[in-house]
Structure 1
Amino acid sequence: MKKVIHYLVSAVLAAFGLLTLFLSTSVIFDLFGIRAKEGNYVLFVVWSNFISSFLYLIAVYGLLASKNWTYKTLGLSAAVLTATFIGFLFYIQSGGIHEAKTVGAMVFRIALTLTFALFAYFTINKRK
């Protein structure tokens, strides 16, 4: 049963990483008309999501191969996202144009990333 949960979490992280990669790349490079659909996106937030997408995919390998560094990779992603979120809050306070949904999306992404990091820590590092 533990293996099933491990593979399920890996699959969810892979899907989340691939979706993040697709969406951030589409906004950065204006693919498929997604940039127009995003409205008032903030480019540095999109770039941090782009960076995190690669960290997620690296972490998927780490989860599947039970590598000790997996939680650190996800922690790095959470740190990047948190620093970006703090910068984003300053951006909002200075009157920057943005979509209100971005605040909730950033909080969700940080919380989910931390959840994945904790899962990796407790299933890989505590087991060894």
Structure 2
Amino acid sequence: MKKNKILKIVVAFVLTAFALLTVFMSSSVLFDWFGIRAKEGNFVPFIVKTNLTMGIVYLVAAYGFLKSKSWAFWLMLSAALFLLFAFAAFYIHIHAGGLYESKTIGAMAFRIAFTLIIAGLIYRTTNKKT
């Protein structure tokens, strides 16, 4: 039982930290805070907006997870699906000749994997028989 609680706190902390970083970086690019937009190069606005949305979704999921709500898992799974759709749209954007940074491909793949891993940990922690 204690191990489960520690895992829950660690997962919630990691998810919240990642969410706050995502919201900060995405909003900085969109609203050009601290000159970050210039450093990002050829960013794709719909990907940045998707990431900002996911940051907010991650915060809501972290809250639900800490409150042991089963919807936190479904929210994270929905977030992964949303990210997959955005990644497919990004693929179309690339092949249509749109400008992009190659690091965005790896970043999106990481974000999708991160979301699925956290969803799995949330499922394991909230649905585990004690």
On whether the aligned pair clears a TM of 0.5, the verdict is yes
Asked which structure has the greater RCO (Cα within 8 Å, sep 6+), the reply is 2
Cα RMSD for the two superposed structures: 1.1
Residue 22 of structure 1 is matched in structure 2 by 24
Structure 1: 4+ residue segments shifted above 4 A? none
Distance 2:52 2:66 in 1: 22
Length-normalised TM-score, structure 1: 0.96
Alpha-carbon deviation of 1:63?
1.2
Length-normalised TM-score, structure 2: 0.95
Distance 2:43 2:116 in 1: 24
Residue 89 of structure 1 is matched in structure 2 by 91
Residue 43 of structure 1 is matched in structure 2 by 45
Residue 36 of structure 2 is matched in structure 1 by 34
Instruction: Answer whether contact 2:29 2:37 (CA < 8 A) is retained.
Output: yes
Distance 2:59 2:46 in 1: 20
Deviations along 1:7-34, one digit per CA (max 9) or x if unpaired, are 0111000000000000000111111111
Structure 2 residue runs without a partner (length 5+): none
Matched position secondary structure for 1:66: coil
Letter in 1 for 2:14: V
Deviations along 1:70-98, one digit per CA (max 9) or x if unpaired, are 01111111111110000000100111110
Structure 1 residue runs without a partner (length 5+): none
Q: Does 1:5 pair with 2:16?
A: no
Residue 104 of structure 2 is matched in structure 1 by 102
- Percent identity between matched residues is 48
